[in-house]
Amino acid sequence: MCNFIIHVVIFTLTLQLARATCPNIVSRHDWNASSPTSVENITSIPVPFVVIHHTYQPGFCRTHRACAAAMRNMQNYHQNTRNWPDIGYHFVIGGTGEIYEGRGWDVVGTHAPNYNSRSVGIAFIGDFREEVPTDEMLKAAKDIIKCGVERGSIASGYKLVGHSQVKNTLCPGASLLEEIKTWPHWDPLKQP
Ligand SMILES: *[C@@H]1O[C@H](CO)[C@@H](O)[C@H](O)[C@H]1NC(C)=O
Ligand SMILES: *[C@@H]1O[C@H](CO)[C@@H](O)[C@H](O)[C@H]1NC(C)=O
Ligand SMILES: [Zn+2]
């Protein structure tokens, strides 16, 4: 009986993974990422939060080449100046609408204190205090969140928040925050 239940659970999980419709992701190899200095796996899967960021610096990038360079610059800054194990975010969206792999689905990020082990952090490359990301960028973020839910990495009842809702910061920029407030799952949580 117990075996039967386990088989059903495994079968269902397998189906879920197989069914996930995920967008193309620019792999770490493709943007020439350095190796992480250490890795901590997320233990409570699926995570209940998605936290949205803007990078502020580096600024908006228009080509694959420029966005890949922005990824390397951020990783270099996060590893060598901030002393984090790797680039802080799980996924990063460039001005081309491409999604860059940061830590990926399974690894704890460094992007939102108190939320790192229970959230996926998604950053938009650029300064979105006054402007919003392009439609392609917004669609990319929605697609990667949907993929995360379908593959079982993000809880189906997840809460979507801007970084400034969980920390005293201007990130993700006032315009981008107003934008995500219109998305399903945005939550008015405020924990300074
Ligand atoms: C990739 O990164 C390595 C080490 O950081 C560096 O030596 C190499 O020049 C980089 N290659 C490209 C194409 O950027
Ligand atoms: C993290 O997960 C990966 C793949 O799921 C595994 O190979 C690795 O050993 C795990 N690392 C730790 C520290 O548990
Ligand atoms: Zn942030």
What domains sit in the chain, N to C, each tagged with a CATH number?
2-180 (3.40.80.10)
- What the block records as the tokens of 80 is 């060598």
Q: Which ligand is nearest to the CA of 173?
A: 3
Q: What is the mean pLDDT of residues 135-160?
A: 98
CB distance 34 to ligand 1 below 6 Å: yes
* Residue 34 Cα: closest atom of ligand 1: 5
pLDDT of residue 8: 53
What's the start-to-end Cα distance of the chain, in Å?
A: 48
Which residues are found with C-beta within 5 Å of the ion, ligand 3? 53, 163, 171
Q: Is the CB of 76 under 6 A from ligand 1?
A: no
Buried b (16+ CB within 10 A) or exposed e, 14-23: eeeeeeeeeb
Instruction: Tell me the per-residue pLDDT of 53-92, one tens digit each, with 9 for 90 and over.
Output: 999 999 999 999 999 999 999 999 999 999 999 999 999 9
Q: Is the pTM of this model over 0.75?
A: yes
